[in-house]
Each structure stands twice: as structure tokens, then as C-alpha cells.
Amino acid sequence: MAAMYNGTFLVNIYAPSGAERKQEREGFYSVDIPYLLPATKTDVILAGDFNCTLSHSDATGQRNCIRALDSLVTGLGLYDVGGTTSTRPMFTYYTPT
């Protein structure tokens, strides 16, 4: 889902989940999301359920990330506004392991 508001492009995503859908998630970040975004430089707020993390500090267990998300974030010049620090960890998903 995407919308433009006062010159800022707002995008809410739900990435494919599950280990068996890793390739689908890869395509989602490298093909689908770039297709949704405007071709011209604009401010972007990208939010939603990414179903993977950007760094080890974003997870309580094993890191579940794909390079395509990292490339998307780097390529768009995005940054994580909910970043964690060693004194203030923050998680939005927990697993028993």
C-alpha cells in the first residue's frame, strides 16, 4: 500500500514470511518494492512487516535477513528510526528460541 502526502511517499508493506519463501522475499525487496516507489528523488517512509531484520541487534535469536533488504535500504538512503542501542534493545517480534 502506498500514498503521497505533502511530498512524502508513504509505503506500508507486508513481506512474504517463512523460511520456505526466502526467494519470494528476495524478489519482493529487489523487484516489487522498487517498482512501487517513485522514479524521482522524494522523501520516503517505508514501514510494515518486513519478516526479516537488518542487523543482529534487531533479533532475539538467529538473524533472519536477506541482502535484498539491505540493498534496498542502502540504495534509497533509508535509515532505521527505531534503532536499538546496547542499553535500550527493542524488538517487535519474539520467538520461543
The three grid cell numbers given for residue 36, joined into one nine-digit string: 512501487
91 in a structural domain: no
* Pairing status of strand 8-14 against strand 2-5: antiparallel
How does DSSP assign 55-92, residue by residue?
SGGG-SSS----HHHHHHHHHHT---TT--BTTB---S
83 in a structural domain: no
Q: How confident is the model at residue 89 (pLDDT cuts 50, 70, 90)?
A: low
Based on the structure, what is the number of domains in the chain?
1
Q: What is the reported pLDDT for 88?
A: 65
66, pLDDT greater than 80: no
DSSP E strand stretches across the chain: 2-5, 8-14, 43-49
pTM, rounded to two decimals: 0.75
Domain with 20, as residue range(s), is: 2-76
How many CA atoms lie less than 13 Å away from 76 in the CB half-sphere?
25
Quickly tell me which residue has 542499553 as its cell: 87
21 in a structural domain: yes
Q: How confident is the model at residue 16 (pLDDT cuts 50, 70, 90)?
A: very high
